[in-house]
Structure 1
């Protein structure tokens, strides 16, 4: 049986029955990288990992929200360091692209997010853990600058969108990207598949985020990634089994699972 790993899911945002269904419904699902939104989310993902061996948690602070206070940041970083053996990566962290589009952030506010991300990048370096990034469009070069500054190469840009120059830079630096089910119907995403090295590609759901096209009205489930893999194989014009093999190997080796 061809196995799959969800490289990026917010499992703690599903209810208990949905979580049970996700874990047990598809026997081809080998693991899930469950990313965290904040400290409470990190704690919940840690507990889910104790219940379900397939859950591999990442601890972090999602950037599309108000930055943590100094005390909150200190508490989160202290907790992550104390529980580093329970996590496979630092994440989800990054820059607030969509929040910035909705609200006019001051220069000071934007610098706060960059400082927070820099602290997380330094933490991933210190703990020798991969980092899972939310960084799209014009935010991506800023993140690349920080990663290069601290010589962090184990970087995963989830649901990435960006220009060709940044894509080439990321590929040359050995960074990984992952595709969501919208690769089936979003031309912008499809155009990323061909140039990016297969050896640096993973698949994800970003669940419970909902999708359109053939997935309209359906609960986001890791089984959707099988259609993503099929589409990647078609775009790259290579056998689907080869894509399954590389994507599985990439994800396991990246997260050391």
Structure 2
């Protein structure tokens, strides 16, 4: 009973992917840009367990308008082969490194939210701290409710707002050693929760030096279960059903 709700499966080698997929019932494979979408699409055609999401990761320079239009056209043409629009969002970490204007990224995010509504697909969001408030504003503006904030972090005001609207979050293996994530688990309803790896992004603590893989989510589930006062089996079932229902798997 294991679904990785957010993984960059196309960033693993062809030799690694089959063994990774043996660990799960399914993975939500998000994309970074057009070439990544194309690779994710091919993997979804080759592996039944790979469920594709197409988008543009915000922690990178913006596309030219021509390339942006080409990406949107490609996504529309492949809408039947995807379970969600994603990953999309705002460049919080990039802005910590360099002075960039967030406004064009907000415009692009709004365009993706409108696309998700047009295609009747959920949207996978990279939006943390103050960026989550902006994302919520746009979701509410366009009345998009099927939103999944991956590896979310934010203050209590935005957390309560997200809970009120029924937005989902997914928990990463760093919950074993990050108090901030443990506190989030405590307040967020498990009925609005999934688990993810965001692989191949590396983790610390007990996972230091290890290749990120879906098996790490067993530890995440045990931590969630302990905080929520459930057995690991109960938590695993709820989290799996949440993911299946959200992504209509």
TM-score by length of 2: 0.99
Partner of 2:62: 67
Partner of 2:247: 255
SS of structure 1 residue aligned to 2:88: strand
- Structure 1 unaligned spans of 5+: none
Correspondence for 2:133 among 113, 118, 141? 141
- For the residues of structure 1 that align with 2:2 and 2:172, how far apart are their CA atoms? 13
Q: Name the residue aligned to 1:209.
A: 201
Alpha-carbon distance between aligned partners in 2 of 1:211 and 1:127, rounded to the nearest angstrom: 34
Which residue is equivalent to 1:38? 33
d(CA) in 1 for partners of 2:69 and 2:99?
27
Q: Which runs of 4+ in 1 moved over 2 A?
A: none
Aligned counterparts, 1:113-132, within 5 A? 113-132=105-124
Per the TM alignment, residue 221 of structure 1 is displaced from its structure 2 partner at its CA by 0.5
Pick aligned residue for 2:231 from 214, 218, 239: 239
29, 46, 70: which is aligned to 1:51?
Answer: 46
Matching of residues 105-184 of structure 1 within 5 Å? 105=100, 109-184=101-176
Q: Mind listing any 5+ residue stretches in structure 2 that lack a counterpart? A: none
Task: State how far apart, in whole Å, the 1-side matches of 2:162 and 2:63 are.
Answer: 28
**Aligned-residue CA RMSD in angstroms?**
0.6
C-alpha separation between the residues in 1 aligned to 2:152 and 2:129?
8
- How many pairs were matched up? 249
Partner of 1:94: 89
SS at match of 2:25: strand
Decide which moves more: 238-247 or 173-182.
238-247
Q: 1:79 aligns with which of 67, 71, 74?
A: 74
Q: Distance in 2 between matches of 1:205 and 1:144?
A: 24
SS at match of 2:210: coil
C-alpha distance in 2 between matches for 1:189 and 1:10: 21
Provide the C-alpha distance between the structure 2 equivalents of 1:54 and 1:20, rounded to a whole number of angstroms.
10
Secondary structure in 1 matching 2:211: coil
Q: TM-score, normalised by structure 1?
A: 0.96
